[in-house]
Amino acid sequence: MVAYLGFLLLFSSLYFKDIKMFGSGLLIAVFYSAYDLIWTYWRDRVWYLPVSSWVSALVLSVAALPNPSLILIIVLPFLAVATKQLLHFGKNRHVFNPAASALAIVAIFTPIVSWWGVAAASLGSSAWLLIFIITAAIIILWRQSRWHITGAFFLSYLLCFSILSLSADVEASQLPRLIFSSTFNGVIIFFSTVMLIEPLTSTFVTKRQEIFYGVLVGVAAVVITYLARKFNLYSLDPLVFGLLIGNLVISLWFLPGKEKQKKCVNCSCSKEVTKISDEPSYWYRDVPTTVRFPTLKGDNNFDVAIIGGGMAGVSAVYFLSKAGVKVAVVEAGTIGSGDSGYSTACATRFLENIDATLKAWEASDAAISLFKKTIAEEKINCDWQGIDAFCFTKQTDKKSLADFSKTFNRLKEKDFRFEMLDKDEASRALGVGISQAYRRQNSDGIFHIRKFLLALAEKAVKNGAVFFENSEVIDIVQGEKIIIKTKEGSIAASQLIVASGLPSAKFFPAVANIIRSSISYIIDIKFSGQPPLRNGFFCDDLDPYHYFRSVGENEFLLGGEDWFVDEPKPKGNPHEKLETWLKDLAGEKNQFKIINSWQGSIFSTADTLPLVGPHSVYGNNVIFLTGWVGNGTAQGFFGGSIAADLVMNKTNPFQNIFACDRDLVWPKNNKTSILNMKKDKKFANLQEDKGEVVELDGKKVAVVKIDGKVQTFSAVCPHLGCTIGWNDDARTWDCPCHGSRFNKDGSLLHGPAKRGLDPAEVELADED
């Protein structure tokens, strides 16, 4: 596209025998690029000029010819860049075509339009220029695969043009000639194959929406032609303003947003999930999803590269940048939109079990202290509240109460500030009737996790750190220098910190294979009147356990019903189970409604403590931050500080507790749903449209029968390496970790995975 526009600029100046045209066009492109480069650096503190900027700059250069004044050369690019930078739904989703918007703004003040005059010659007067434009148009549409947009535009444009012509008393016999001259015209071809589709500024995602966009622009262009002639609006260029109308209408009509989850994916009930709010979770209500940082482009060099923009990754980059280390974060989505954005955001000392809690007690104490210190020093407004650590039981049998007291005694030995509450005291403290409880006052903290993460990222940027969003890592080359690659760029670094929820099994199998995945379900509820529950963070002693915290006026987040994904799927809807549990706890008189519901991924180690540090298989220049077991809030933040110490060769007293090379062996699980099958297993008894995940030749394989033929795929999700499962109700393959779903034939249904399931290289015996 860049080469085509450059040649078109050159050929046009040759056609008019005026080399000044070429110089003027280049000046416009230079000014555009300079404005865009400086504006991006001012906003993101990173030098970044995407290819799309060159395209927009050259489009403007061609559109502004033949002889723009010096004022236009300076002003037009600025207006175009301002439109791109200020009017957008996230970067790369700007509302208006930058070149068209700049021309439209200028046209309001000065009637400059005979624009595209260099490309406007029809067949005959400059056949070679028109042939060049048509040839380039075919190549562009073929490479961009956007024939349907241009085709839809032409059909609607010519249809409306014909209707308008006939209504203006044009004879029917003259209509074919008019249509031919309108179609084989450099202006309309250039517009429909460059301006209309590049850049693709609207927010639609389906081909049907793109076709509608093409039709809309075609109709708008003809209507504006009619209005311009009727009211003598000579500066109202129909194609420019038609394009802007199409951009605006489509951008507003198909606003970007998360698809609502309509069914319970990770259970067998196939019931509707109650969901009133459109936000992915509560944390997006005040801090919606927005692209704040550029995509990784070109080759870059940093001292340290970090994969993952959640709590651990952002914390690590903050501490490293504060120490003056040249560091960059590469995030597949946007900052704080992964597992961190689906937590309940409680910085707690209570870990997954009593053994882990006691072993990491001092580390948890240091983590929460560092958390509070950082919030105070950096003046971060994240709604932090110090609260009590509170665990309760509703059970009344002697064994359960004895076990509950035993756990309390072990905590009391570790920290004398724990206190046991009898039935009356516990019920008053919680707000509803329970059997017993223990607590440690002013122990934990609750806060707004996305406010905290984005504020911490801003502090890191001020310290010199660089963030790249929408930059999925597709390859990692390990050596003295570690090179991480995305589709459009790469980073070479001396050290790598892997802070993704689950390290990719493709690149780091030795770490990924010692982690188990589970899911915790969450509902956001609001009581109709004064809530019976107190402010704070509370958990019970059931298995699976439940936990909740307050988030607003009469509003709480309730989580639990955790499920290990390699065990049989739970019967019933986990969100409904949470609702039932809360009704039983709060009583029928305390009415509430469910505002939202979601699920969060949990990645566990055998001893339920995280992995922080290098692993012997991958050397000391790769540091892992993973395995948070649902406690990635305080532990993830603290882990980021430990990783920073390791990078700078500082001794951290807590690193050994979380070392990656400690002895981690999972007990055998007899409830696994993965079937162990021999290589010669026959699938004659596999039902039609029925899938299974099996183990063949040591590989986890997804097997399904479609139209009587057995098909096999890798059971590893191409997103981050989790094991997929078969959904009987929807006839799909579902990834329990981050929600990717695949059709039964392995093709991608929706992400965050970017592609379908890989084919499985296994041999199946012939069926009888």
Q: Which two tokens stand for residue 338?
A: 């992964």
Please say if the pLDDT value at position 437 is more than 80: yes
Query: Residue 187 region, left (φ>0) first, then alpha (ψ -120 to 50), else beta?
Result: alpha
- 347-365 in b/e burial notation, b at 16+ Cβ within 10 A? bbbbbbeeebbebbeebbe
Q: How far apart are CA 552 and CA 533, in angstroms?
A: 12
Domains 290-342+464-505+610-658 and 675-750 share a fold: no
What Rg, from alpha-carbon coordinates, does the chain have? Answer: 30
Q: How far apart are CA 8 and CA 119, in angstroms?
A: 8
Q: Residue 696: which H helix or E strand, with range?
A: strand 691-696
**Residue 258, pLDDT score:** 39
The region of weakest confidence among 199-203, 328-332, 417-421, 505-509 is 199-203
Three-state secondary structure call for residue 420: strand
Q: Which two tokens stand for residue 714?
A: 């890798």
**Residue 246, pLDDT score:** 81
Each residue of 599-647: pLDDT tens digit?
888 888 888 888 999 998 888 899 999 888 777 788 889 999 999 999 9
Please say if the pLDDT value at position 767 is more than 50: no
Q: Tell me which of 509 and 279 has the higher pLDDT.
A: 509
Each residue of 235-265: pLDDT tens digit?
677 888 888 888 788 767 765 443 344 445 4
Residue with tokens 């590049």: 198
**Residue 759, pLDDT score:** 78
Q: How far apart are CA 545 and CA 567, in angstroms?
A: 17
Closest CA to 587 of 436, 707, 430: 430
Three-state secondary structure call for residue 569: coil
Residue 16 has phi, psi (to 5 degrees) of: -85, 0
- For the segment 196-200, the average pLDDT, to the nearest whole number, is 61
**Residue 228, pLDDT score:** 79
Q: What is the mean pLDDT of the chain?
A: 79
**Residue 116, pLDDT score:** 44
Each residue of 61-106: pLDDT tens digit?
777 766 778 888 888 889 888 888 887 654 445 678 888 888 888 7
Closest CA to 260 of 739, 744, 600, 746: 739
pTM (2 decimals)? 0.60
Residue with tokens 């692993």: 615
Range with top average pLDDT, 147-161, 279-293, 304-318, 532-546:
304-318
Query: Identity (one letter) of the amino acid at 139?
Result: I
Fold that domain 675-750 belongs to in CATH = Rieske Iron-sulfur Protein (2.102.10)
**Residue 730, pLDDT score:** 64
Each residue of 655-701: pLDDT tens digit?
888 888 888 877 665 333 333 333 445 565 667 777 888 777 667 78
Three-state secondary structure call for residue 524: strand
Q: Residue 377: which H helix or E strand, with range?
A: helix 361-378
Are the C-beta atoms of residues 675 and 695 closer than 8 Å to each other?
Answer: yes
Segments making up each domain of the chain, as ranges: 2-253, 290-342+464-505+610-658, 675-750
Share of the chain above pLDDT 90, in %: 11
**Residue 501, pLDDT score:** 79
**Residue 645, pLDDT score:** 92
Query: Residue 572 region, left (φ>0) first, then alpha (ψ -120 to 50), else beta?
Result: left
Each residue of 17-67: pLDDT tens digit?
777 878 888 898 899 888 888 887 786 565 656 666 777 888 887 777 667
Q: Tell me which of 410 and 226 has the higher pLDDT.
A: 410
**Residue 114, pLDDT score:** 40
Please say if the pLDDT value at position 3 is more than 90: no
Each residue of 145-174: pLDDT tens digit?
678 888 888 898 889 888 888 887 778 888
Q: Which two tokens stand for residue 328?
A: 């960059």
Please say if the pLDDT value at position 703 is more than 70: yes
Query: Identity (one letter) of the amino acid at 565?
Result: V
Query: Identity (one letter) of the amino acid at 530?
Result: Q
The per-residue DSSP string of 245-259 comes to HHHHHHHHHT---PP
- For the segment 314-334, the average pLDDT, to the nearest whole number, is 92
Beta bridge partners of 389: 440, 537
**Residue 492, pLDDT score:** 92
Beta bridge partners of 123: none
Q: What is the CATH number of domain 290-342+464-505+610-658?
A: 3.50.50.60
**Residue 729, pLDDT score:** 61
**Residue 201, pLDDT score:** 45
**Residue 257, pLDDT score:** 42
Each residue of 329-383: pLDDT tens digit?
999 888 888 888 888 888 888 887 888 888 888 888 888 889 889 998 888 888 8
**Residue 676, pLDDT score:** 36
The per-residue DSSP string of 432-472 comes to S--SEEEEEEEEEEE--HHHHHHHHHHHHHHTT-EEE-S--
